[in-house]
Amino acid sequence: MCSEQMKSLEKNHAEFEKLKAVAVGISVDSVPCKNAWAKSLGIVKTRLLADFWPHGDVAKLYGIFRENDGFSERANIIINEQHRVEFVRIYPIAELPDIKLILKILKG
């Protein structure tokens, strides 16, 4: 996960709550690594999930695991209350996802 992307989720936490949405950051890093990273960035409200073991299984379920690289694509995925995927957008690794687009989609 990109630190700027996580800071954007944290900054928009209240907006997600208003929309009754939960934003999470997930990567193949371990829990201790994610905790240290979150602390260094000041991430306290945004949930960070570890797809560490089995390595990348969640990313594989959503078809975004980069097998050759050992990590997931940079992606935004919206899942509804029925656990169905509503939206997927994969970004180039060097591109910061647009949080405004996600908020716009959630607002309908």
Nearest residue to 102 via CA among 44, 42, 43, 19? 19
Q: Which residue has the tokens 């695991």?
A: 65
Question: pLDDT by residue (tens digit) across 22-55?
Answer: 999 999 999 999 999 999 999 999 999 999 999 9
Question: pLDDT by residue (tens digit) across 71-108?
Answer: 999 999 999 999 999 999 999 998 988 899 999 999 98
Residue 54: is the preceding peptide bond cis (ω within 30°)? yes
Q: H or E stretch including 91? A: strand 85-91
Q: Which amino acid is at 4?
A: E
Longest pairwise C-alpha distance within the chain: 39
User: Going by DSSP bridges, is the β-strand pair 71-72/65-66 parallel, antiparallel, or unpaired?
Assistant: antiparallel
DSSP for 15-60 reads HHHHTT---EEEESS-HHHHHHHHHHHT--SSEEEE-TTTTTHHHH
